[in-house]
Every structure is written in structure tokens, then in C-alpha cells.
Amino acid sequence: MESGIEIVVKQDWTDLDAARRSMAQRLAMSGITHHEVLQAMATVPRHAFVEPALESQAYEDSSLPIGREQTISKPSVVAKMIQALMQKQKKMGRVLEVGTGCGYQAAVLSLLSEEVYSVERIRSLHDIARANLRPFRISNLRLIFDDGIKGIPQAAPFDGIILAAAGLGIPDPLLEQLAIGGKLIAPVAKSDTQQQLLLIERLSSMRYQRTTMDEVFFVPLQSGTI
């Protein structure tokens, strides 16, 4: 399926558009080299996924609150994780996102994947993401309210899995739902104060290759729905 971001312009976003382009340029200068990732980051309007009072900060490289003690990740972290997941691919196949949040990363992934399934465990955030994404009419994105730790067995296997919360390890159901040759990227807690990105590639039914990447800071990965 083809995806597309269709903006319904209700006011003059000129300054915000310029800020978004500048953000993409900064990402390129900081080591994001994947052309399609940079293009997606330069396309999706991050300001549409934050509270109006925070719009002026939307294109700074900072995480911002979205409610329920959750945040929208830094643009640099979003780009870095997706670039690692894609590596040399121009487009991914079926992708699972665990932790929809406000919907921003799901929108970016929709431009880089054939299909995106995004799961959120907090009902109010699921509803916010649905409302944020509705104006864009993205045909290849499915939002699901459920416990993301379980994955989505009925839609597996996934060519890519990305977690937006940090656990002590990678939940077994997610490893099992990763396609052979597929990649998973997630923040993993090393201690109460330290987290690192972990990239996992499934080499065969029983073999996984793990690569440790940069230190990050994410909200905790939790089970159940609320």
C-alpha cells in the first residue's frame, strides 16, 4: 500500500515549515545520512503532534510532554532509531511500533514502510494519537489500543519493530514476532539511571545478533492497559 501525508492548512505555517527544514538540516549535520529518513523528518509536521503552547519548541531537539507522564521523543533520537532499523533499505515492509504516544513517530514510519501497526497501552494517548493523525488520512497505518509487550501475533511477522519505552530486556513475544532478517530496536535499561539503544537482527529461527548503540533516556516499558 502507498502512504501519504496530506496537510490540511488552516493557517500560515511558514515559520514552522522553515523550522522543520532547519531541523532536518541539523539532523544531517549530526550524522543522519539516510536520505529517505531525512526526507520523512522534513515532511511530517511535528508541531501538529504537540500542545499548541509548545508549538514554538516543536523543532528543537528536545523531548516534550504529551500527558500521562509520557513524552514525544527528541527528533534526533527518532531519526537515529529509524535509520538503524532501516540501514540501507529505502523502504521497510511491515513494521510494529510499541508505544504510539502522540502519533508522531508512527507518521514518520508510515512514509518509510509498506505497513505500520502502532500499539498504545494508555487509552487517552491512543485517542490523542488518533485525533492527531486523522487529518493526514494515512492509509497504511493501523492504531491499536492494547498491551504492546504482547506484540500483535495476528499481524506477525514484522520486518521491523521499534519500542518507544525502556524495559530491562526485550519481551520474548516481540522477538518471536520478528521476521527472519528483520530488525528490532529498543532502549534497554542498564540500571536505574542508564539506558542504551539495542539493535537486534534475527538471523534464523533461533539466532539473534545484538548490537549496543548510544545511551538514551526513555519512559519505562510497562505492561497492561489503562
| Contact of 54 with 16, CB cutoff 8 Å | no
| Contact of 218 with 187, CB cutoff 8 Å | yes
Three-state DSSP at 166 gives strand
Cell numbers at 91, concatenated = 523502504
Distance CA 177, CA 146 (A): 16
Three-state DSSP at 38 gives helix
Q: What amino acid positions are annotated as catalytic residues? A: 73
| Contact of 37 with 82, CB cutoff 8 Å | yes
Bridge partners (DSSP) listed for residue 167 = 188
Indicate the pairing of strand 158-163 with strand 178-189: parallel
